[in-house]
Homo-oligomer: A and B are copies of this chain.
């Protein structure tokens, strides 16, 4: 990619961004779209636009985002979202502080030197370096004393990172403490999850076993237990029932509409009973669904009874009347065999993964290691296709290996666009395939809570990204030329990385720009959800519930967002000293990101769980990992320049490791378990334990027909009757 195609790419991205912003300003002011642009506010029962005035400035969202406080974010979108903004602003701070010093110092130092070897050496490595190269460290002569400036810059960036990360960890720890201290009653703070319960002794039910065990240990604060059951069957029936209920409502709405429109007696909707409603007998929908529902209700009830009675598993939720007891119980060893009665914090009821609750202790261990191996293999073997793709998708290579494309490619316009976007698009599409697979793997580990599984998947995704995108593209961009070197000297991989870094700088510049202009433009304008919503509204949705489902905004999806951001910060950090011109791009990425996501968090997305900032330690560790990678490559890169003082950089990676160690020791345990000084604060009111208990009953097991008292009795009676069997 030469300089002009770089500018083209930048220009195109910016143009798309501006168009999307204008679209957003126009579309968001239409009242009919407010469910797309303000769903979170609507669901919270707030007015869609603050102040509610109709003739508002189309750019007032910027002011609203900037003036919103952290408390607003916490109250509207939860602690996890607030922590995400701490992450964004910390990274932004690092880049701004780095840029303020590096840009005015390093750029003049680089541009006024003139590396004679340049055209003969660095640039030919992949032939894509143009005017930008003058602004980078590649322009410095070997052994030049100007390298001192770059060396000190590495120290500056590192210290800025340490300082801001430390402050941020402290701050996030405070946020978490405030959330856990809050006098609001949160059901999960009163419960623990106990797994690996030993076999039921003769003459006892599971429930009696669990109750008597915990009553002995916590005679005063034990409230009640809920034995985990195998819900596969009952879930299936319940799912079918709910499906038919929705279809019935839909059919009734269609019927009512047809009455209102044409014939006064209406047209009764019909459907076919066979596969996907395409084949089979044609029946009257309303009758058919009513019939099905009436069939399923007793089936569900009997299955509920069978499940509660016979499908009890070796796992339970225990409820305490005190937060402090629950916090302490989750951290304490209960049985002398560590693989029995394992107790942990109960996740929120909405993020419990019921199927994983019954997996046994050592099976969990084995699953974990198997998953680690699978992930490692995935990371290794994806490296090959990515390397090949990025090596192929330079135009020169395309023409060389696929000569039949030559006529198409030689058209100037197509050529420029292709050159600008081809490798980046390949990369983005490629990465979009992965998260689902990694989340699936993480759930397979046996993790009992959704948020934990997402954290685990996001960690895997980060390591995948760094290894494959960053290292793969960097080394892969010069893969064909350097493959023989690596083959001969396998130890020289750091050298290869260091020498090929500058060559990939423009690739990453374009990648970052594409991500923030087009990515954030799409994010803010919500073009895709808007179109889907309007299509659904027009052609599919008939009932209120269907409509609500159509505009349901989903959550911020940290699982993929955070690793993406971390990849950007890794790239920007690694290039920050080599080619400081990347820093403004990074600043724009995180600055725009902060602004646009602030708007989205306040107005659009609805968090689907709350983990009270447990994501932070992972973000923190991974920023340090990025910093380490930066420090090591800088050591290699300055070494390649034959600078004798390069070893002055050696203390830096060691300092990073110590910093990581100290942070982990000082802060981490509080992110795994609740500190008692936090949990022992007083509550606003006496907790309604029955309400807390009930919130953990899965919907498929809570019965509509039985009223509250009956249900409670049923659960207890079943235990009692089971003991008499």
Contacts and interface: CB of A to CB of B under 8 A. Distances in A.
A574 B131 CA distance: 68
A213 B335 contact: no
Contact of A217 (B217, B662, B676): B676
B662 A362 contact: yes
A666 B361 CA distance: 9
For A177, A332, A336, A666, which residue has the most chain B Cβ atoms within 10 angstroms?
Answer: A336
B331 A332 contact: yes
A339 B365 CA distance: 30
Contacts of A678: 336
B173 A675 contact: no
A337 interface: yes
A538 interface: no
Interface string A214-232: 0011001000000000000
A339 B667 CA distance: 8
A155 interface: no
A620 interface: no
A711 interface: no
A176 B678 CA distance: 33
A338 interface: yes
A680 interface: yes
A382 interface: no
Number of copies: 2
Nearest to A324: B217
B332 A676 contact: yes
A334 B677 contact: yes
A54 interface: no
A482 to B, nearest CB: 29
A630 interface: no
A669 interface: yes
A215 to B, nearest CB: 10
Contact of A675 (B329, B333, B670): B333
Contacts of A361: 665
Interface of A: 173, 176-177, 213, 216-217, 220, 324, 327-329, 331-339, 341, 361-362, 365, 662, 665-670, 673-678, 680
9 contacts: A327-B332, A332-B673, A333-B670, A333-B673, A335-B675, A337-B670, A338-B668, A339-B665, A365-B665
The 9 closest A-B pairs by CB, nearest first: A336-B670, A336-B675, A338-B669, A328-B332, A217-B680, A333-B675, A331-B332, A177-B336, A217-B676
